[in-house]
Amino acid sequence: MKLTKHITKKGSLICLFFIGLLSCNTTEQPQVHKLSGGALGTGYNITYLGDEKPDLLAQIDSLTSVFNYALSTYDPNSLITAYNTNRPIHKDSLGVGNDHFVTMIDLAREITKKTNGAFDASAGALFRVYDRAKKAGVPIDSTEVSPLLVRKGYPSLNYDNDGWLIKDSTSEYNFNAIAKGYFVDLISELFEASGTQSYMVEVGGEVRTKGTNSQGEPWRIGINKPQIGASQTDYFQVIELTGQSMATSGNYQNYYVVDGNVVGHTMDPRTGFPIVSDLKSATVIHRSCAVADAYATACMVLGLDESTKLIESDSSLQAYFIFEENGDLQGVHVK
């Protein structure tokens, strides 16, 4: 294992940005295409090299519609909302959205097991308690949390003889900690299917890459200094990617304060309560952006030491952690 440290000033805010590359090369450059838009309540940015894909925007719009139908907890008519609220679900009415729903359940189940519950998309009921408390600006009530700790799990989706879903579990799903990464993978698969050799897809800060940029170099993704007021070009570290995905999770924003006490943004699904630690952000690298997204969340729950052990135990993972020590921010690359 190779550990390298990068030290800068104290802070608590981090964002992902793409580093612009300057070139004075006069040789013919590959054709570069860029596309930006909105999806899943956030923005996306895409860069790809080669032939233009005029139908790409329409394909992404179609993906967004199916994705929201399958996995959006904000859509009262979505499949996941129907499941969580115990509405009748007939297999003939599911459509293509069912494939995404099943895929997310299977992948989340696997990662929950590998992280010993530090990531758990079946703890949707606990996330609802946290969201209500945050909106009201009050502490989380332990009497609400306790009975919900047993409402977790990933049962198989079974149907009766008439085609109606049999829900034999009280678990509720919330895939928000893996959804952006999965959507990045879905868009990337559009490029894979068309044979595109170089692309970068980013959705809400989660990234997947293939090949190289227009200068023939790895895609360079900057992690902004986790400091309130830091500029968009004030990078803490730069990560070079090719053929890999990268996702970052943090506890440095979206928190709230009760009676002067900070209530963290990251909730531990094992306890039902939010945590605040010296680990300010976790960036995880993996081939799949969905996997990287989920593991980044798990690392924020586990903290620096346990996260380091988790990453070291899996040869498919790498990570870059930013943590606070003696009032200073430090960065460490694991593997």
CA-based Rg of the chain, rounded to a whole angstrom?
21
Residues 271-293 have pLDDT tens digits of 999 988 788 889 999 999 999 99
Distance CA 156, CA 149 (A): 20
Q: Which of 93, 66, 328 is nearest to 190 (CA)?
A: 66
Six-digit token string for 222: 């900057």
Contact 169, 155 (CB under 8 A): yes
Q: At what angle do helices 176-194 and 289-312 cross, to 10 degrees?
A: 120
User: Tell me, what's the pLDDT at 10?
Assistant: 32
Instruction: Say if strands 206-210 and 199-203 run parallel, antiparallel, or are unpaired.
Output: antiparallel
By the 10 Å C-beta count (0-12 exposed, 13-18 middle, 19+ buried), 182 is classed as buried
Distance CA 223, CA 249 (A): 11
- Alpha-carbon 66 to chain mean position: 19
User: Tell me, what's the pLDDT at 130?
Assistant: 92
Which runs of E-coded beta strand occur in 251-287? Answer: 256-258, 261-263, 266-268, 273-275, 279-286
In the chain, which ranges are continuous DSSP H helix? 56-71, 79-84, 97-114, 124-136, 142-145, 176-194, 289-312
* Residue segments in the chain with a per-residue pLDDT below the cut of 50: 1-17, 19-26
Distance CA 242, CA 120 (A): 29
Domains of the chain are 5-334 (3.10.520.10)
Q: Which of 197, 239, 191, 248 is nearest to 219 (CA)?
A: 239
In 242-329, which ranges are continuous DSSP H helix? 289-312
Residues 111-125 have pLDDT tens digits of 999 999 999 999 999
